[in-house]
Amino acid sequence: MTTTAIQRTTSDATGPQLKSDELRLFQELMYRKAGIRIADAKINLVQGRLRRRLDALGLTSYRAYHDYATAPGHEAEFQMCLESLTTNETFFFRHKEHWDFLLGTIVPAWRKAAARGATFRAWSAACSSGEEPYSLAIALDAALTGSGCAFRIDATDINTQVIGRARAGIYGAYALQKITPAALARYFTAQADGQRHQVCDALRARIDFRAHNLLERATGPAYDLILLRNVLIYFDGDSKGAVLTNLAGRLAAGGHLILGGAETLSEKAHGFAYVQPTIFRKR
Ligand SMILES: C[S@@+](CC[C@H](N)C(=O)[O-])C[C@H]1O[C@@H](n2cnc3c(N)ncnc32)[C@H](O)[C@@H]1O
């Protein structure tokens, strides 16, 4: 083997390395555009996730990729870059306490106060691939069927790829790990591969999926419930404050905000009353 061949083999095996000044470019980009802070310790993760895009474009450095993705006319690549760097982990009925609280407290209190025929409105505000809003739909369907009341769910995420997967509503064993056999039989259709299940049309029709950046203001109806779970952990104080100000304006008086298991907020700053860990109510 010649020296050149050895060098090429070595470089193919390891590929371009993400240098710390290049990491800084992606940290600044993600913070500016999505409010997300990427820690220095995540350098290998960032390199691994962006590597596919460098390879696809035939680029040999991460700086070249940054410049390409942020150049005018390359908006689609920019979106792919952003989507490569978001973390979309989720599954059905994640965090049992939240579903118990929804069915044991939020829905009964809402029904007491609501007029007959009223609609419960909820927003899954970082819905990833849809497991969270579909869990909400299953829980609300079970709680409100036969009550004369209806529900509607808006589900949004910054990542358009996961929104596409959410709309399709097809899931495997990992996502469905907490779904009971009864719920699986009632709300899903088995796929031909025998491994995956699709959410039934009736449930899919209750959810409106769309792309939305939480740093941007959204207008629309006032919600009785907003789920903002497992996304604030990626934001620093300033972006967290901006997101919470946007969301507080979208909750009906007395509506609930539920955060992820490791997340907190300074309730006074945003007009929320503390209910129990991770659960807040708009005053
Ligand atoms: C870990 S997932 C949480 C999914 C679900 N809420 C749960 O708890 O299982 C975090 C989601 O937040 C989304 N996200 C990150 N930054 C966002 C932003 N600025 N606006 C909207 N969504 C964002 C990511 O794309 C990702 O799908």
User: Where in the sequence is the domain holding 57, given as residue range(s)?
Assistant: 3-84
Same-domain pairing of 219 and 105: yes
Confidence of residue 268 (pLDDT cuts 50, 70, 90): low
Query: DSSP 3-state assignment of 253?
Result: strand
Q: Are residues 172 and 207 in the same domain?
A: yes
Q: Write down the pTM of the prediction.
A: 0.88
91 belongs to a structural domain: no
Do residues 247 and 277 make contact, with C-beta atoms less than 8 angstroms apart?
A: no
The verdict on the CB of residue 243 being under 6 Å from ligand 1 is: no
The answer to whether residues 101 and 130 belong to one domain is yes
User: What is the average per-residue pLDDT within 38-54?
Assistant: 95
Band (pLDDT 50/70/90 cuts) for residue 10 is very low
The phi-psi region of residue 258 (left if phi > 0; otherwise alpha if psi is between -120 and 50; otherwise beta) is beta
The answer to whether residue 90 sits within a structural domain is: no
Alpha-carbon separation of residue 270 from 229, 273, 281 (angstroms): 17, 9, 11
CATH assignment at residue 273: 3.40.50.150
What lies within 8 Å, CB to CB, of 13 at 6+ separation is none
pLDDT digits (tens, 9 = 90+) for 50-90: 999 999 999 999 999 999 999 999 999 999 999 899 989 99
Structure token pair of residue 98: 């939240």
Going from the Cα of 89 to the center of ligand 1, the distance in angstroms, rounded, reads 9
**CB-facing half-sphere around the CA of 85: CA atoms within 13 A:** 29
Q: Are 35 and 126 contained in the same domain?
A: no
Residue 22 lies in a domain: yes
Cβ neighbors of 267 (< 8 A, separation 6 or more) are: 273, 274, 280
Provide the 8-state DSSP code for 41.
G
Output the residue whose Cα is nearest ligand 1's atom 16: 34
Query: Do 229 and 265 share a domain, yes or no?
Result: yes
- For residues 212 and 105, membership in a common domain is answered with yes
Domain count, the chain: 2
In the listed set 30, 53, 84, which residue is the last one of a domain according to the structure?
A: 84
